[in-house]
Structure 1
Amino acid sequence: MLQVCLNGSRRPHEKVPVTLTQIAEAAVEAVAAGAQSVHVHPRTDLGRETLDGELVALTVDAVRRAVPGVPVGVTTREGLVRDGVERLAVVSRWPRPDDGGPDFASVNWHEGMSVDLATVLRTRHIGIEAGLWTPSAAADFVGRRWPWQVMRVLVEAVPGHTPGGYGTWAVERILSALGSQPAPRLVHGEDQWAWPVLRWAQQQGYDTRIGLEDTLFDEAGLRARSNAALVREAVTGRREL
């Protein structure tokens, strides 16, 4: 499975989709290029990331209308609301998937109150992508017996946050800390680690993702034209492996 990550926390510019129309169009193009799942960070009218339930639902609806049948997920990342307690309260008011809410949401396990947040998502019947950036986060995730309660694990190599001198070594350490557990694994990197980790993950048979959240550049180091161009390049390279 290849997931497209449309915008993330990138600053708005001509390539990064932030409005509902831009997000929907980017989803259509990315799915046509080969993406099978969509991850998006909803934005306000001013282009700021938000966890507001109404705007989350509007964003999810725009993507679902554009690419019917494709799973749509959103972020819950720390810092988008004032504090952890408020974040829990905001997410607890999200609609369930059948009522217009997201199919899944990512939870960064190293962030504060991650277990509480994941528990809230489960009560809303929203699938959980557990974001593991470090071996210690993976060990905590396993120790709390959460692998049996999530939709998938995101093994994420993030320069400056994930320990390691290069991306593939970093993800191997996280995978080692995970050990044998039942949740499907999606492996990806960001920025300079995005392409090396993606190609390694494809060779190893893991699900992965690509998009302007993870990198603004194609594999040759040139500025990416669009999310769809990144997806197309990822799919083409996978076929050649």
Structure 2
Amino acid sequence: MNSLHTAAEHGRGIAIAVAPNGGRRLKADHPALPLSPAELAECAAECLDAGASLVHIHVRDDAGRHCLDVARYRAAIDAIRGRVSDRLIIQITTEALGIFKPAEQMDLVRVLHPEACSMALREIVPDASYESAFAVLLEWMRRERVMPQIILYDLADLERLQEMLQRGLIPAQDIPVLFVLGRYTTHQQSSPADLQDFLQASPSFAHWSMCAFGRDEAACAVAAALMGGNVRLGFENNLLLPDGTVAANNAALIAPVRESLRLLGRRIETAETQRAALEAIW
């Protein structure tokens, strides 16, 4: 039997996160892609109203390129907080995009001291020589109350994290994870069936989320939610509504998922309730 813990078993609803920009797309891809602090703040407010409890943000340099600049992150965080206060969890990313080394990713977390941070396992711990530094960072994050989320792209990533957990490199009995569906499939078009590789591995993670690529993003999200996971939507991975038309903005991608879950009797988490759930495991 699959040992995966479900949200219902822990008395939780479904948490909806939004990833509104990512590190690759530009205004040419969609004019409503939020890049500046003011645009991110307005987008965050729209997505809060649509049902999101967490916003996952990237920042760009003057040329629009992905960066890990502390000052730019602070400006974006301040703008979002000024617009929505603490009604959204703000999660930054250490995504490397082939540019930043593990030490630079780890330095960002320590200097910025964000509320939450996502980290791709294969980027921040590319091989065993980085495991010790990663373990030290996680110890610091737990002590400083910075909530991690480990990004897992495939079954190999999942098995590696489980093995690290078993060896005691994770300073807790559990850690939040994000399953990325379809990252390396043809044309990066995800399907709800992509969940099976992760779920059949019987992961023991109590707080798992998923994100997906392409027009079936909403279908993947609803499937994951019904299986006990949380969901992440947004322009970072997808611009299309379920009918294949281009979404007007990030909030429009949340609407069909929230409505489907409402009709199915699922409760949607707020930032306050999601914080409590995260703090219970970290």
TM-score, normalising length: structure 2:
0.74
Q: Which residue is equivalent to 2:76?
A: 59
Alignment pair present for 1:74 and 2:88: no
Structure with bigger RCO (C-alpha 8 Å, 6+ apart): 2
1:142–1:239 distance in 2 versus 1, CA, 3 Å: same
> Given residue 6 of structure 1, which amino acid in structure 2 is its aligned partner?
P
Q: CA deviation at 1:196?
A: 2.7
Q: Does the 8 A contact of 1:108 with 1:130 survive in 2?
A: yes
> Where does the alignment leave 5 or more consecutive residues of structure 1 unmatched?
97-101
Cα deviation for residue 185 of structure 1 reads 0.8
Deviation at 1:223, TM superposition (A): 0.4
**Equivalent of 1:3 in 2, 5, 17:** 17
Alpha-carbon separation, structure 2, partners of 1:51 and 1:186: 23
User: Which residue is 1:215 aligned to?
Assistant: 238
Relative to structure 1, is the Cα distance of residues 166 and 190 closer, same or farther in structure 2, using a 3 angstrom cutoff? closer
Runs of 4+ that moved beyond 6 A? none
What are the within-5 Å matches in structure 2 for residues 200-211 of structure 1? Answer: 200-211=223-234
After superposition, the C-alpha distances for 1:103-156 in whole angstroms (9 at most, x for unaligned) are 111111122526545642552532110111111111110111138366511111
The equivalent of 1:104 in structure 2 is 116
Asked whether the equivalents of residues 218 and 253 of structure 2 are also in contact (C-alpha less than 8 Å), the reply is no
Q: State how many pairs are aligned.
A: 233
Two-structure CA RMSD over aligned residues (Å): 2.6
- Residue 186 of structure 1 is matched in structure 2 by 209
Q: Tell me the SS of whatever aligns to 1:191.
A: coil
Moved more, 4-13 or 143-152: 143-152
Task: Name the residue aligned to 1:135.
Answer: 155
Give yes or no for the alignment of 1:113 onto 2:131. Answer: no
Residue matched to 2:26: 12
Structure 2 segments unaligned to the other structure (5+ residues) = 1-14, 265-282
Alpha-carbon distance in structure 1 between the residues aligned to 2:82 and 2:62: 20
Identical aligned residues as a percent: 25
- Paired letter, 1:220: D
2:176 corresponds in structure 1 to: 152
Distance 1:222 1:10 in 2: 21
Higher deviation after alignment, 144-153 or 184-193: 144-153
CA contact 1:107–1:117 (8 Å) conserved in 2: no
* Aligned residue identity for 2:250: N
Task: Provide the secondary structure at the position in 1 that maps to 2:67.
Answer: coil
